[in-house]
Every structure is written in structure tokens, then in C-alpha cells.
Amino acid sequence: MYAIIDLETTGGQPANDRITELAIFVHDGQQVVDSYTTLVNPGRAIPPFITQLTGITNDMVADAPRFHEVARRVVEMTEGCVFVAHNVRFDYSFLKKEFADLGYNYSRKTLCTVRLSRSLIPGQPSYSLGKLCQNIGIPLSGRHRAAGDAEATAILFERLLRITQESDAAEAVADTLARVDALAPAGRKPDDTATEKKPSPRRVAAMAQAIKTALLPPLITPEKVAALPQETGVYYFHNEAGEVIYVGKSINIYKRIQQHFAVDVKSRKSLDFKNSIADITYELTGSELVALLYESHLIKQ
């Protein structure tokens, strides 16, 4: 699961500024399944230039809830989700600071759609949200308002997911992220001139793992998939009752099953099937022909 988030703030520094609006779109890898948007009273005046940019006035937030009043909702909606944002460091830093002020250590895995876009949609003149959406045909209404920006980020994220799904998912992401530029410095919204640095191998691996984990059926752990052999054989999907619900064969069981879970599920029936997979077993056959014959025999049983 993913929580696609956008914030509007009184300025660009988490240490000194505060949130004025937040939007959360919870995404299951196929579609948005829940959303929440609210203005937030920052407890301080909104600078005129911020009002000019966002349209959010002091009067609009005067009766809005303070952050501590919406904090529980934020925690609950993002629990177990990968935190996704367009320049995730900006939004994540602000939320961590707001929670820290409440004495709570807010921690989530993160994904940045700026970084992924640079890698998976190369050659764009700009990777700011507005210009990128315009250039690749994503509608963006309510620019510099949390809901509008979060909705556009969700559409962009779906496109990026489809690209990763068409290119062996996590492996492709790990390979491309190894060459992508780093996040803009904390406290800055993204633009195409931001100071950048190469991400560490650990960060690359963490982001690739986040995508891989989120694409798995809910009852299948990353450890289960990682333990599969890269050898020829027949594999089985089982439901929670232990019944075999699918039989397949491959010359590389590990890679084939990763491809299964990276497929863009387009129907409720397919999604229900994916969600019903509770276990994976296999039998090594040594050759593709034996695997094919064995698979055919099992399917006929």
C-alpha cells in the first residue's frame, strides 16, 4: 500500500514553518482506495507571498483544526504504507517535525516521484510537478493546493508503476535508481536546477525493496519470494486453505513469480485472485521440457 501525500506550508523550512493544508491519497497499487484532505491552522500568520502562491488565506485556516487534532488520522491512514510524494523529503520532513513537536517519532518508508520520474521518464525539460504533468498529459487542477497536487501525483505514480511493471519491476527500479540524482535539499520544493547528489547503494536498495514489497500479495512476504530458486521447475500458488489455485512452469522460478506480481491487475477478479495467494511452493525439474510436461499433467488432474 502507498500513501500519496502533498502538503502546503507557511514556507520552506520545517524547523520554522508549519503545515497549512494536507492531502493523503491511499493507493493499493491499482487505484486510490481512500483519501483525506484538510486545511490546518498553522498557529501563525501565512506570509502574503504564500497566500498568493496557494490561495490559502489566514481567514481560511482560522477555524481549521490544529495539527495535533488531525495527527491520529495521518498515522492511521499511512500505517503500513510507503510514503510517496513529489520531492518526498520536503513533505516527509514537515510531517516528521510536526509529529516530533508532539513527542511522536513518525517513521515510514519513502518513495520520491521526482527521482523515479527522472529515471523512468528521462529527457523531460523539467521535473517540477506542474511542468512534468503538462508535458506528459496529466491533468492538474488546483495547482499548489494539497488535493490537486496529490491527485496529480497519484496519476503520475500510476504511470511510473506501469513502467516498472513492464520492465521487471523492482530489478528495473534498482538499476535505474542507481543512476538517478538525489533528492533536493530539505526544505526545498523540487525544480530542475536543485543541487543534487548520487543516492547511496543502501538507499537504492531500500527504494527498490519498497516497490517490490508493495506489489506483493498481502499474504506473501518478501522473504518468501527471496527464497525461491532461480532454477527450472514447476511452481504452485496456494490459498489460505492450502489448496492449489494455480500451476505454472519457468526456467527461472524466482524471476517468473516476480513478473506475476508485477502485472498491472485491471479487473476485480484478477485482484481478488492475487490477494488470495497465501503460499508458494515449487518442484525443480532440471529441464524446461520436463517442467512443461509436468505442468500439463498437473493441470489435467
Residue 301 to residue 263: CA distance in whole angstroms: 27
Q: Can you state the angle between helices 169-177 and 253-262, rounded to 10 degrees?
A: 90
Distance CA 17, CA 264 (A): 40
Q: What is the pLDDT of residue 279?
A: 93
Residue type for position 38: T
Residue 88 has pLDDT above 70, yes or no: yes
Residues whose CB falls within 8 Å of the CB of residue 15, separated by 6 or more in sequence, listed in order: 97
Surface-to-core class of residue 139, CB atoms within 10 Å of its CB (0-12 exposed, 13-18 middle, 19+ buried): exposed
Question: Rounded to two decimals, what is the model's pTM?
Answer: 0.59
Q: What is d(CA 154, CA 265) in angstroms, rounded to the nearest whole number?
A: 17
Q: Can you read off the three cell numbers belonging to residue 169? A: 519491476
Q: What is the CATH number of domain 2-215?
A: 3.30.420.10
Mean pLDDT confidence for 115-129: 83
pLDDT in tens, 266-288: 567 777 888 899 999 988 876 55
CA distance 219 to 236: 15
Pairing type for strands 2-9 and 233-238 reads unpaired
* Cβ count within 10 A of residue 226: 11
For residue 257, count other CB atoms closer than 10 A to its CB. Answer: 22
Record: fold of 222-300: GIY-YIG endonuclease (3.40.1440)
User: Could you give the percent of the chain with pLDDT greater than 70?
Assistant: 75
pLDDT, one tens digit per residue, over 150-160 is 999 998 988 88
What pLDDT, on the 0 to 100 scale, is given for residue 128?
Answer: 86
- Over the range 45-61, which residues count as b (16 or more CB within 10 Å of their CB) and which as e? ebeeebbeebebeeebb
Q: Measuring CA to CA, which residue among 36, 28, 61 is closest to residue 46?
A: 61
Q: Are the CB atoms for 182 and 198 separated by under 8 Å?
A: yes
Spans of all domains in the chain: 2-215, 222-300
Determine the pLDDT at residue 203.
52
